[in-house]
Structure 1
Amino acid sequence: MTYVLFLIVLTLAIPWGGAVVAGRLADMLPPRWACWVLAGASIALAGGTVSALIGLFHVPFLASLERLSLARVLEVWPAAVPVACAAGAVMLVQLVLLVRRWSQYRSLLRRAWLVADEGTGDGDLLVIPGTDVDAFALPGYRGRRGRVVVTSGTVRTLKASEREVLLAHERAHLAGRHHLLSALADLAAVIHPALGSLREAMVFHLERWADEDAAAVVGDRRLAAAAIARAALAGAPRGRVSGYPLLSATSGPVPLRVEALLLPGPVAPRGGARLAGVVALAGTVAVAAVAVLALAYGLHEYVEYAARQLLGTPSGCSGLWSAVHALFGSGAA
């Protein structure tokens, strides 16, 4: 079962490299594209991890379905039950953490809406009491449509043009349903620790996406940069409604966002080394995503193949799995 262990390690290790490459690729793309790349990588890498764990967990159950005694399985692979138990324990922890994180998200929305109920406004805008400079996009909740929430301190401190930038920024978050992408990356990071870097990158690129939309609305990139910088400098850490994944114009690495707005707008990669680099990184992300899913599937198929060999029944496999059999050698050990 040395080869099975190799598949396990490789399947669980690929997300570390895949996350790094996906982050590099996102940095080379316009913000909107970057967010979708990060979302796709998060889903594929997290899905491959779960698939591998399921493949390990069901080994004893597969043996029973194949009418193979567990004693015979343990004779060939003594670690089968401990490994299955470990995989089951990891998935149980993942499930608990996912439920806990989702509950925290719902609790955050509930608390944010309670705060928003104190506000006044018209249309999609709510102004709540507070001396801090703060604005955030509040997703829809229990039939309520999403709103843009600002503090009264924001209205008093920022100029009308700067407030327009912040409102356009938060409206971009709502229109693009950025909270869903943010939550997806957050939940994927619970599945595999390597995906935490994708969660951080997602927050940054979602803010960059909203920054670019806001700059397009006001038609002045320098004004957008100045408004975001001033709001960040005048703002204070949130108390009543703090917490990820509420998206705010003052979240993420603000200096990098301001610097990007002071440069010409992002464009799709074209020609030369830049395009070649993007294609190469995109291919690497795709290969990593497919590889982790393929390895998880291969682990499942190899366990079935090993069970058939132990039973002494014809494998019935040809092509790819004949090659796997030739690579691994006869038998399951």
Structure 2
Amino acid sequence: MTYVLVVISLTLAFPWPGVAIARRLAGVLPPLWACWMLTSAAVLLAGGTVAALVALFHVPFLASLEHVSLTRVWRTWPTAVVFAGAAGAIMLAQLVLLVRRWAEHRAVLRRAWQSADAGTRDEGVLVVSGTGVDAFALPAYGGREAQIVVTSQMVRALKPDEQAVLLAHERAHLAGRHHLLSAIVDLGSVVHPALRHLRDSLTFHLERWADEKAAATVGDRRVAAAAIARAALARGSDRGAGGYPLLSAVSGPVPRRVEALLLPAPVVPRRTGQRALVLLLAGVVVAAGLSALGLAYGLHEYVEYAARRLIGDPSGCSGMWGTLEHWFGSGAP
């Protein structure tokens, strides 16, 4: 069981350094690259966690297929039953949380569309009256096409050129299908607590991606910065309808976004030292994710081998673990 404990510890611990490195890498990449990198890291790290849990749940499952009683499994390999029970409970909790989170997202989207239905269309934008101050991208739902929704208070708070920035920002969200990237990372954060930090980082970089698109559309970074700042001030403490799955123009750390717009447009690092740093960080992120998956696969192979030995099936002992046992002696329970 020493191998199992080591693999479990490594697989479940990998997301913590992986997330820290991914966030560091995102800070030196252009927003578009940063968003895709963060999403990929979330998929790899969440996949490794789930794979390890499935592998832990494997022995009782294999035993049941071979009609071996749980009592026999408990007598021969009691820790396997304990780990399998814990893995099953964790996966069940993850499933419940995933369904609950998805239902919450759909409920938010449904309420947003209900409020948008009362709006009036103005040049392809839904303008909603009321006291709220907000603007957000509304993904497609229930057969209705994606829309940009702006409250009348927000329209009155901005100058015409700033309104153009706001609309370009929200169009960038829809064109880039940012709500899907946000959904992937947000749901992944349910799988492992470390991924919650990726979710927060992705929110910022998605807004930066849309900010850069808006600045390029209007051709003036200072106007774009002023529009984002004025929109945030107009919104004030009003929470509005922002947040996934509604990508609001005034979400995320607005001061950092405005500061970035006052600097030159970000580019892919071109200096040798910068490129080396980016490649190194990217390599570590990929290695962390793939290592987690690899360790989970190794655990799966070990558990299957041990289960075959338990049920007395020699055909299951001819793989990698069977070869290792032949060389070094028994390593299975």
1: CA distance between counterparts of 2:23 and 2:240?
A: 32
Q: Which amino acid aligns with 2:323?
A: S
Per the normalisation by structure 2, the TM-score is 0.93
Aligned to 2:207: 207
Task: Indicate whether 1:316 and 2:327 are aligned.
Answer: no
Q: Retained in 2: the 8 A contact 1:132–1:236? A: no
Q: Retained in 1: the 8 A contact 2:133–2:238? A: no
Q: Which amino acid aligns with 1:78?
A: P
Give the ranges of 4+ consecutive aligned residues of structure 1 lying more than 6 Å apart after TM superposition. Answer: none
- How far 1:58 sits from its partner (Å)? 2.1
- How far 1:325 sits from its partner (Å)? 7.3
User: Structure 2: where are the runs of 5+ without partners?
Assistant: none
1: CA distance between counterparts of 2:55 and 2:306?
A: 13
2: CA distance between counterparts of 1:239 and 1:265?
A: 29
User: Structure 1: where are the runs of 5+ without partners?
Assistant: none
Q: Which amino acid aligns with 1:216?
A: A
Q: Retained in 2: the 8 A contact 1:212–1:261? A: yes
Q: Retained in 2: the 8 A contact 1:115–1:241? A: no
1:217-274: per-residue Cα shift (whole Å, max 9, x none)?
Answer: 0000111011101111111344663543311111001111111111110111213211
Give the direction of change, closer, same or farther, for the CA distance of 1:93–1:326 in structure 2 (3 Å limit): farther
What is the identity percentage for the equivalent residue pairs of Structure 1 and Structure 2? 64
Q: Retained in 1: the 8 A contact 2:42–2:198? A: yes
Give matches, 1:6-21, under 5 Å. Answer: 6-21=6-21
Q: Retained in 1: the 8 A contact 2:186–2:199? A: yes
SS at match of 2:121: coil
Give the direction of change, closer, same or farther, for the CA distance of 1:278–1:104 in structure 2 (3 Å limit): same
2: CA distance between counterparts of 1:11 and 1:110?
A: 38
1:54-99: per-residue Cα shift (whole Å, max 9, x none)?
Answer: 1111211113335655444333421222221111111111111111
1: CA distance between counterparts of 2:18 and 2:162?
A: 39
Q: Which amino acid aligns with 1:20?
A: A
Q: Which amino acid aligns with 1:77?
A: W
Aligned to 2:74: 74
Aligned to 1:236: 236
Give matches, 1:42-57, under 5 Å. Answer: 42-57=42-57
1: CA distance between counterparts of 2:122 and 2:52?
A: 50
Q: Which amino acid aligns with 2:13?
A: A
Give matches, 1:185-196, under 5 Å. Answer: 185-196=185-196
2: CA distance between counterparts of 1:64 and 1:150?
A: 57
SS at match of 1:79: helix
2: CA distance between counterparts of 1:250 and 1:271?
A: 33
- How far 1:130 sits from its partner (Å)? 2.6
Aligned to 2:145: 145
2: CA distance between counterparts of 1:52 and 1:313?
A: 25
Give the direction of change, closer, same or farther, for the CA distance of 1:34–1:323 in structure 2 (3 Å limit): farther
Q: Retained in 1: the 8 A contact 2:73–2:81? A: no
Q: Which amino acid aligns with 1:155?
A: V
Task: Indicate whether 1:164 and 2:164 are aligned.
Answer: yes
Q: Retained in 2: the 8 A contact 1:309–1:331? A: no
Q: Which amino acid aligns with 1:62?
A: L
Aligned to 1:251: 251
Per the normalisation by structure 1, the TM-score is 0.93
Give matches, 1:35-184, under 5 Å. Answer: 35-66=35-66, 70-184=70-184
2: CA distance between counterparts of 1:212 and 1:86?
A: 46
1: CA distance between counterparts of 2:14 and 2:276?
A: 23
1:88-138: per-residue Cα shift (whole Å, max 9, x none)?
Answer: 111111111111111111110110011111111235301111344311111
Aligned to 2:221: 221
SS at match of 2:49: helix
Q: How many residues align structurally? A: 331
SS at match of 2:265: coil
SS at match of 2:14: helix
SS at match of 1:121: strand
2: CA distance between counterparts of 1:242 and 1:226?
A: 20
Give the direction of change, closer, same or farther, for the CA distance of 1:71–1:326 in structure 2 (3 Å limit): farther
2: CA distance between counterparts of 1:27 and 1:123?
A: 36
2: CA distance between counterparts of 1:158 and 1:96?
A: 43
1: CA distance between counterparts of 2:331 and 2:20?
A: 37
Give the direction of change, closer, same or farther, for the CA distance of 1:240–1:253 in structure 2 (3 Å limit): closer
In angstroms, what is the RMSD of aligned CA positions?
Answer: 2.0
1: CA distance between counterparts of 2:296 and 2:326?
A: 17
Q: Which amino acid aligns with 1:177?
A: R
